[in-house]
Amino acid sequence: MALADDQALVRMGLRVLIDAEDDMEPAGEAADGREAVHTVRRERPDVILMDVRMPGMDGIAALREIAADDRLAGTRVVVLTTFELDEYVFDALRAGAAGFLIKDSDPGELLRAIRLAAAGESLLSPSVTRSVIASFASRAPSGSPRPDLGELTEREREVLALVGEGLSNAEIAERLVVSPATARTHVSRSMVKLHARDRAQLVVIAYRAGLVR
């Protein structure tokens, strides 16, 4: 678990929070994007919390560099942002972020985000998921067709809608009264059929398809 933020006080707070968890261990810190890339290459953390506004190389540029390096495929980037409707959020989703959180999120929500990212899932802050992704999806060119969901089964469409609401696999499983493994399978099949790079893209597709309102 690595941390990247230009404010030492923020890093200290995050480090204290992570140190208190039995299943988490700090694996390096960085005060700017370039240092964050070096830290990831050196430590190979499962997850890095990445601030977007840092001097020199910002968090989005660092995210792009990490995502472009196949050797770092095992590291998931969770972006931290100060504002709900931040332009950086859209760039982060395009660049392949595992998710994003508002900096004043509840500590429990932040820890949940880290665990979900480490497990290969994505998290979009529940308080802003709808407004941010709806805005992101609306940026499609005028008149562009909605995504073709014809290849999805009825259950996969249902799962896609729940992904669009920001639910995790475990939460989807609970909502549909199925096992987490079954929910994960439905999500994976939907990604393949819709040619989605990651879970964040599934959320965008769900909005554009009108499955989430």
Distance from C-alpha of 63 to C-alpha of 31, rounded to nearest angstrom: 14
What's the pLDDT score for residue 19?
92
Tell me the residue range of the domain where 16 lies.
Answer: 2-127
For 208, counting Cβ atoms within 10 Å of its Cβ (0-12 exposed, 13-18 middle, 19+ buried), the class is buried
In a domain, 150, yes or no: yes
SS3 of 123, please? strand
Looking at the structure, do residues 149 and 45 belong to the same domain, yes or no? Answer: no
Residues 72 and 150 in one domain: no
The answer to whether residues 83 and 32 belong to one domain is yes
What does pTM read for this prediction? Answer: 0.70
- Tell me the CATH number at 117: 3.40.50.2300
106, 181: one domain: no
Question: Do residues 59 and 123 share a domain?
Answer: yes
Q: In the beta sheet, which residues pair with residue 2?
A: 48
- What pLDDT, in 10s, does the model give residues 61-100? 999 999 889 899 889 999 888 765 556 666 777 777 887 7
Where do we find the tokens 């990445």?
50
Q: Which two tokens stand for residue 183?
A: 């929910």
Last residue of some domain: 127, 159, 188? 127
Residues 36 and 70 in one domain: yes
Nearest residue to 48 via CA among 64, 63, 70, 68: 63
Same-domain check for residues 164 and 200: yes
- How far is it between the farthest Cα atoms of the chain? 51
Q: What's the start-to-end Cα distance of the chain, in Å?
A: 35
Q: Are 118 and 151 contained in the same domain?
A: no
pLDDT digits (tens, 9 = 90+) for 143-181: 556 678 999 999 999 999 998 887 888 889 999 999 999
